[in-house]
A and B are shown apart, each in its own frame.
Chain A
Amino acid sequence: MLKINNLEVSVTGKKILKDFNLIINDGEIHAIMGPNGVGKSTLSRVIMGDDNYKITGGTITFDGDNLLPLTTDERAKKGIFLAMQYPMEIDGVSNQDFLRTAISAKEQKRIGLYDFILRCEKGVEELSMDKDLIHRSLNVGFSGGEKKKNEVLQIKLLKPKFIILDELDSGLDVDSLKIASENIAKYKEENPETAILIITHHPKILEYLKPQYIHIIDNGTIVKTGDASLALDIEKNGYSNYKNGKNDIINEDNYE
């Protein structure tokens, strides 16, 4: 599904990602962990096509197609979804208009109002969201938890095949994290081919979404790859053991 090969990324002349390699196959769940400022969110923005990041080397392919020439909306239409750490607040644009326009863009036909309301109501109920949030300006005045639930609602409505969760757990209380995570897990169960990349500091979300692979990132590159036990080690001992390490597990030759 997603293949990143020797990626190098700079922002205002500073190299953020270097020699970055990652392969995520259909249906897999991966987690990327690491302290602040090591390039985790940069990776998510680069995959989504944020122009603020300059790619100076390497490739990203998705389902065999080169992603790099595609605009952000074209990448989204291919089935990539980035649940953002800080969802934007856009005054005046109603959540309803936004969601309906996004679904219509994805399905390449204007979705009928009745059909839209039915889909929305189901998602809103499953996420225990306040129904009024659909009619308000997009994310304006939403609590941190409501914003994140709104991101998950978009997943349910837009039905992506590759989901990036950029610190979904930040701003969420324990109960909301449980509801959001369980909804994503349910979506994954209903769409087993969907792959997920979880970017997080904290192992709590991994209890709900259970990744097969955990990668530690430091200084712009993956320095260690392991299974769930790696997250437990991080929780216990922190990241210091993995600073400036070298990843010897994932590369094109030995990754299955």
Chain B
Amino acid sequence: MNKIKVVNNRIIPFDCDDVLINESSIRFMKNGDCYIEYIDSDNVSININIDSNVCINLFEYSENEKLDININYNLDKKASLILSKFYCNGNTKAKITINLREEKANIKYNFSSISNGIEDYNVNIYHLAKQTTSDVFNKVIARENSSNFFDINSFVENGIKDCTLNQQTRIITLGDSDNRINPNMFIGENSTVATHSSTIGSISDDDLFYLMSRGIAYKDSVNLIIKGMILSNINTNMETREKILKILDGIGGE
């Protein structure tokens, strides 16, 4: 697996093959897996480019006091990006742009987050060529007194045929928090297939009752639901999974 660390806003490659890296861009030229971790980075700007016919499994991890990130994913013809992200930051400001710039490019974007402070996400998905596909799944645990703002915009202009768009965002609140989801789909082409759903709410009492009726204590039931929601949304290796589990163990039953 290719490993990249972004330390103090600088891209530092570890064990990277078939990946071209310069000051602000990462280019994938062959199929493979890649792990990117953000460390002490509060002002990151990166272009991630995926060449034609290349399939990349990418995992991004951030556990920082503050993350301010501007990231562009550019996919060429028949490029495929399976992206899993986990963030647990003090505060986050993220501008994410996905350019599906040639035909049959496709992205599966799975984002899981534990929010602690002010989390502001602006995600723009541009379907710039025919038969492109975007699946966006955001799953967030909003801790007490956190704020979560999601502006998610998908664009398909007239004449860009046979695109498929999907946006799903779910925020589970633990206590009082300020949350907003704006799912927008700007579609000018009749052949587009589009679906979306957005939900904000606390853990269902019925779900908790069901788990507790099997002898699972309240705190463990909450923890089971949180772990399920966060981990089922992302593909991780064992090492990262253990790191995330440690974080999740600390928040069950708040």
Chain A residues with CB under 8 Å of chain B are: 48, 50-52, 71-73, 75-77, 81-82, 84, 87-88, 90-94, 97-98, 101-102, 105-106, 137, 154, 158
Contact = CB atoms under 8 A, between A and B. Distances in A.
B232 interface: yes
B213 interface: yes
A84 B210 contact: yes
B224 A93 contact: yes
B224 A105 contact: no
B235 to A, nearest CB: 14
User: Top 10 A-B pairs ranked by shortest CB distance?
Assistant: A92-B228, A93-B228, A76-B215, A92-B232, A102-B214, A88-B210, A72-B212, A73-B212, A105-B215, A92-B229
A72 B212 CA distance: 6
B203 to A, nearest CB: 10
Nearest to A82: B213
A105 B220 contact: yes
- Where chain B touches its partner, the secondary structure class is helix
A71 B228 contact: no
Interface in B184-240: 204-207, 209-218, 220-221, 224-225, 227-233
11 contacts: A72-B209, A73-B213, A77-B215, A82-B213, A90-B228, A91-B232, A94-B232, A102-B216, A105-B215, A106-B214, A137-B228
Contacts of A73: 212-218, 221
A221 to B, nearest CB: 25
A97 B213 contact: no
Contact of B218 (A71, A76, A91, A97): A71
Interface of B: 204-207, 209-218, 220-221, 224-225, 227-233
Given A52-B205, A88-B206, A105 B228 contact: no
Nearest to B210: A88
A77 B217 CA distance: 10
Nearest to B139: A92
Contacts of A51: 205, 209
Contacts of B220: 101, 105
A50 B209 CA distance: 7
Contacts of B228: 90-94, 97, 137
Nearest to A45: B209
Contacts of A81: 213-214
B224 A48 contact: no
B212 A158 contact: no
Contact of B213 (A52, A76, A94): A76
Given A93-B228, A94-B228, 11 more contacts: A72-B209, A73-B218, A76-B213, A88-B207, A92-B225, A92-B232, A93-B225, A98-B224, A102-B216, A105-B215, A137-B232
A56 B209 CA distance: 21
Nearest to A107: B215
Contact of A158 (B209, B214, B233): B214
Contacts of A76: 212-215
A102 B225 contact: no
B218 to A, nearest CB: 7
B160 to A, nearest CB: 32
Contact of A105 (B204, B205, B214): B214
Contacts of B225: 90, 92-93
